[in-house]
């Protein structure tokens, strides 16, 4: 092993990953979580929250484009967007590539995290925080959703997993999704980052799916591989009404503006065929998920 500083991430009780660190931009704690922003030899600039990798320069575009664009293209005319979490600003960046958007509201509980990302990782937001269409709110997402009196076209849940004592435990429950359902417009779309989609640790992915199915008439799970996570990653797309998800080529070409916030590097209109094609083990896992509730929330355990 080469000498130097190594970041050791405990993934589970049975697995851990090690990363060689070339530079430390920030290491510290906020009232909500531990934050490390470092330069990794293999991944480039990388963000770790509570010692778990969240985003890396080498492939953050894969995660963020996969999270945002299937949901945005599923809505016929998305104008008002709500992002829950998304501290780095890259989810916001991808939303603003859609020229239909009039207002994008981002709600994150950790103001210090957002400011640190803007300072040390400006490539992620690429000017999105300064857009006239952007509204930044620093608040608890559950509190914000419960008091919201606006309707949204698309809501994007870009939250950390529901770790014990973490800030996200009650942001994946049936009660929370019921409130989201009520503040979506009639063609409303919700997308939820849903954790690992590997053959062993897929219970969270299945739980999100099962919980959403209790609230929404149509839920479409999908996945892709994230190099820096060392894992296939899952997402769940929930629609307020059943509708065709096929993307019109002209609509896609006219919708995406790649001039200001950067070009697409992962997502294209034919990619959905692959993203929404699940292997058999994930189909089987979905049937074994359980509904997460406020009284019995899902807590991610290794």
Q: Quote the Cα angle for 279-236-68, to 5°.
A: 115
Say how far apart CA 265 and CA 187 lie, in whole Å. Answer: 28
Q: Is residue 298 part of a domain?
A: no
Say how far apart CA 166 and CA 128 lie, in whole Å. Answer: 27
Q: What CATH number should be reported for the domain holding residue 32?
A: 2.30.140.10
Domain membership of residue 26 as a residue range: 5-54
Say how far apart CA 79 and CA 77 lie, in whole Å. Answer: 6
Closest CA to 100 of 116, 82, 78: 78
Q: Is residue 295 part of a domain?
A: no
Same-domain pairing of 41 and 121:
no
Same-domain pairing of 114 and 211:
yes
pTM, two decimal places: 0.93
Other CB atoms within a 10 A radius of the CB of residue 78 amount to 24
Same-domain pairing of 45 and 64:
no
5 sits in which H/E element: strand 5-12
CA atoms within 13 A of residue 26's CA, in its CB half-sphere:
21
158 carries an active-site annotation: yes
Residue 169, pLDDT score: 87
Contact residues for 176 (Cβ-Cβ < 8 A; gap 6+):
142, 145, 170, 294
Say how far apart CA 166 and CA 170 lie, in whole Å. Answer: 10
Same-domain pairing of 124 and 145:
yes
**Residue pLDDT tens, the chain, 302 long:** 355 688 777 777 777 778 889 999 999 999 999 999 999 988 999 999 988 899 999 999 999 999 999 999 999 999 999 999 999 999 999 999 999 999 999 999 999 999 999 999 999 999 999 999 999 999 999 999 999 999 999 999 999 888 777 678 899 999 999 999 999 999 999 999 999 999 988 999 999 999 999 999 999 999 999 999 999 999 999 999 877 677 777 888 889 988 889 999 999 988 999 999 999 999 999 999 999 998 888 887 65
Q: What CATH number should be reported for the domain holding residue 165?
A: 3.40.50.150
Catalytic residue among 158, 270, 272, 294: 158
Task: Write out pLDDT tens, residues 140-165.
Answer: 999 999 999 999 999 999 998 887 77
Same-domain pairing of 221 and 256:
yes
The three-state secondary structure class of 59 is coil
What tokens were used for 97? Answer: 């590539």
What tokens were used for 139? Answer: 């608040």
Domains in the chain: how many in total? 2
Same-domain pairing of 209 and 259:
yes
């Amino acid at each position: 092993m080469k000498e130097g500083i190594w970041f050791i991430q405990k993934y589970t009780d049975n697995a851990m990953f090690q990363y060689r660190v070339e530079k430390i931009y920030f290491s510290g704690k906020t009232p909500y979580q531990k934050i490390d922003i470092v330069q990794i030899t293999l991944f480039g600039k990388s963000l770790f929250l509570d010692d778990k990798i969240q985003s890396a320069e080498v492939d953050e575009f894969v995660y963020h484009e996969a999270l945002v664009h299937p949901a945005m293209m599923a809505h016929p005319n998305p104008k008002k967007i709500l992002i829950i979490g998304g501290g780095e600003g890259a989810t916001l960046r991808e939303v603003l590539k859609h020229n239909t958007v009039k207002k994008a509201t981002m709600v994150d509980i950790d103001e210090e995290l957002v400011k640190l990302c803007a300072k040390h990782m400006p490539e992620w937001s690429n000017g999105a925080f300064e857009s006239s269409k952007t509204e930044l709110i620093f608040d608890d997402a559950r509190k914000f959703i419960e008091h919201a009196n606006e309707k949204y076209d698309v809501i994007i849940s870009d939250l950390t997993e529901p770790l014990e004592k973490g800030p996200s435990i009650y942001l994946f429950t049936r009660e929370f999704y019921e409130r989201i359902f009520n503040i979506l417009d009639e063609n409303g779309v919700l997308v939820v980052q849903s954790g690992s989609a590997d053959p062993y640790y897929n219970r969270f992915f299945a739980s999100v799916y099962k919980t959403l199915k209790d609230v929404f008439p149509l839920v479409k799970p999908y996945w892709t591989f994230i190099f820096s996570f060392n894992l296939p990653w899952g997402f769940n797309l929930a629609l307020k009404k059943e509708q065709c998800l096929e993307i019109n080529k002209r609509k896609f070409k006219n919708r995406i503006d790649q001039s200001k916030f950067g070009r697409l590097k992962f997502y294209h209109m034919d990619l959905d065929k692959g993203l929404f094609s699940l292997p058999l083990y994930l189909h089987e896992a979905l049937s074994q998920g359980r509904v997460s509730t406020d009284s019995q929330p899902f807590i991610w355990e290794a």
